Amino acid sequence: MDIAIISPREDTLRLLTVCCAAQEGEHPVRVFASHNSGLVHVINNPPDLLILDLDDLSDVPLTLRSLVCRQEKMKLALIASTDDHALDAVQARSAAYWLRPLSAETVGRALARLLSGETPPVEMRTFGRFDVFVAGQPIYFKNAKAKELLALLVDKRGTVTMEMAVNVLWDDRRYDEHVKQLYRKAVAYLHTVFKERGLNILVSNRGSCYVRQGTFACDYYDLLAGQKKALLAWGGEYLFEYPWAEATLAQIENIVEACRSSHEAGKISK
């Protein structure tokens, strides 16, 4: 698999080159210190994997749209100093989004996945206690509120604003700058958890965040999709450690009852 790296920062080019060289197999690497010359090369000679530094790039959304339109099969790994372009990265179907400061360990782990073509299976279990597994191994969350925020994002299946998250997770506090900082700390912690594992699951913008559906398996989502395995796995509890999940629990119970009634009716008709 051939690789192109575009970054105006010498330290970034050096670290990425070393990380690429450490991977198994033959992976020719082209390095560009200029966005202009690098992008021209990529458009004319598309690599299998493009590692693109978004910092100092004049028009990030336009550039990413252009790359996706021209090179649909090319994998994208993006580097930035902030989350400002995370939504653009999602829309461009980027396989990785690395935040500075870069870690050789984190980059190397993600490269191993990208170059092998494998994605570590991620499972979020909501029936009973909320737990997250990557490649079959549970993730331990040191920040309990960050874990609860992730559960809330999975439950809502869409964008959650900062104010909404604060009202749910810190309902005993005033909506002030201090509690906003607690929210930002939880979001940053989740980014770190996923970044360390080379996963692009969480997207955060100013004042809101969401999880990318389709990047993980979830028993709740399987049930909504009508999958029999989820119905069989249902044990009557949903995110039981979080009182705010009771509304969804009631909806799930209605779905399960309707499914079972339909199944029984089918048996009788036979």
Can you give the residue ranges of every domain in the chain?
3-116, 120-270
* Cα 266 to Cα 255: distance, rounded to the nearest angstrom: 17
Burial (CB < 10 A; 0-12, 13-18, 19+), residue 214, is exposed
Question: What is the CATH architecture assignment of 3-116?
Answer: 3-Layer(aba) Sandwich (3.40)
User: Could you list the pLDDT tens digit for every one of the 270 residues in the chain?
Assistant: 899 999 999 999 999 999 999 998 889 999 999 999 999 999 889 998 999 999 999 899 899 888 877 776 788 899 999 878 877 776 777 778 888 889 898 888 888 878 876 656 899 999 999 999 987 889 999 999 999 999 999 999 889 999 999 999 999 888 999 999 999 999 999 998 988 887 889 999 889 999 988 789 999 988 887 788 888 889 999 999 999 999 999 999 998 888 777 655 444 333
User: What pLDDT score does 73 carry?
Assistant: 75
User: What pLDDT score does 264 carry?
Assistant: 54
The residues, ordered by sequence, that sit 6+ positions from 201 with a Cβ below 8 Å of its Cβ are 122, 194, 211, 212, 215, 216
Fold for 120-270, please state it. Arc Repressor Mutant, subunit A (1.10.10)
User: What pLDDT score does 33 carry?
Assistant: 96
Cβ neighbours, 10 Å, residue 235:
8
User: What pLDDT score does 228 carry?
Assistant: 81
User: What pLDDT score does 265 carry?
Assistant: 45
